[in-house]
Structure 1
Amino acid sequence: MKFTYNKSEKLKSEKLITKLFTEGKSVSAYPLRLVYLETTFTEAVSAKTGVSVPKRKFKKAVDRIRIKRVMREAYRLNKQNVFNNITTQYAFMILYIGKEKPSYNQVETATKKVFNKFLAKHTENK
């Protein structure tokens, strides 16, 4: 798997996002929360992923955009660990639930933890 985050891998469908939050399951590793839902796509991608940072906690758009950028980069570099171990397609939403601006290292370690928890639940259910 390549270290890319293409347009086809981005979660943009409003219907799918709504379904994700109503029917999806979640795992947390502070300061991140991963909401996931097993689904199927017409494209040949193993997952579609979106990131979100609350406007309520970070009023300035500059701060929200920076945190999103850091989260996407951590996901991009660590997604191979997850998708080499699963065969079904998933929709993911990564939410930032912390109250202060994180460093890249904090986000990367939390990303690894949250995906390890997801893999543990995934293998437990199969």
Structure 2
Amino acid sequence: MKFTFNKKDKLKSSKLIEQLFSEGKSVSAFPLRLVYLPTTFSDGATFKTAISVSKRNFKKAVDRNRIKRLMREAFRLQKHNYINNMSEPYAFMILYIGKEKPTLSQIEVKMAQLFEAFSNKVSGQ
């Protein structure tokens, strides 16, 4: 699998995002939280992901954008370890719920823990 995060991998549907928060399940590895929902996609994608940072905790758009950039990079580097093993397609929303600005290394470690928890929870069902 390539280490990319293409347009087809991004979750853009507002209906699906709404459904994700109303029906989805979640796992956490502070300061990250993953909300996921098994679903099907018309384009045949195995996953779609959205990333969000709260405006309440980070007032400046510069800070929110930096954290989102770090989270996308950590996800891009980690996804091949977990996405290849999925049997059904999922919609993901990754939320940053901390109050302090993280570094890339902190985000990478927590992203690995987050997807490990997701894998354990899904395989345990």
**Given the two structures, how large is their TM-score scaled by the length of structure 2?**
0.98
User: What is the rounded CA distance, in whole Å, between the counterparts of 1:44 and 1:79 in structure 2?
Assistant: 17
SS at match of 1:68: helix
Matches of 2:57 and 2:84, distance apart in 1:
35
Distance (Å, rounded) in 2 between the aligned partners of 1:86 and 1:57: 33
Tell me the equivalent position of 1:71. Answer: 71
Amino acid of the residue matched to residue 111 of structure 2?
A: T
Partner of 1:39: 39
How many residues are paired up?
Answer: 125
In the other structure, the counterpart of 2:98 is: 98
Q: Distance in 1 between matches of 2:3 and 2:87?
A: 18
Paired with 1:70 and 1:16, the residues of 2 have a C-alpha distance of 24
Query: What letter is aligned with 1:65?
Result: N
Q: Please give the alpha-carbon distance, in whole angstroms, between the structure 2 residues aligned to 1:44 and 1:17.
A: 18
Q: Indicate the residue corresponding to 1:7 in structure 2.
A: 7
Mind listing any 5+ residue stretches in structure 2 that lack a counterpart?
none
Give distance in 2, aligned partners of 1:72 and 1:83: 15
Deviation at 1:61, TM superposition (A): 0.3
**Superposition map of 1:53-72 within 5 A:** 53-72=53-72
In 1: Cα distance, 2:123 partner to 2:98 partner? 28
Shift of 1:19: 0.1
In 2, the alpha carbon distance for the partners of 1:86 and 1:48 equals 13
Question: Share of identical aligned residues, percent?
Answer: 62
Higher mean alpha-carbon deviation, 78-87 vs 112-121, is at 78-87
> Which residue does the alignment assign to 1:121?
121
Three-state SS of the structure 1 residue aligned to 2:37 is strand
Deviation track 1:4-25 (CA, whole Å, cap 9, x = no partner) reads 1011110000000000000000
Counterpart Cα distance in 2 of 1:37 and 1:75: 17
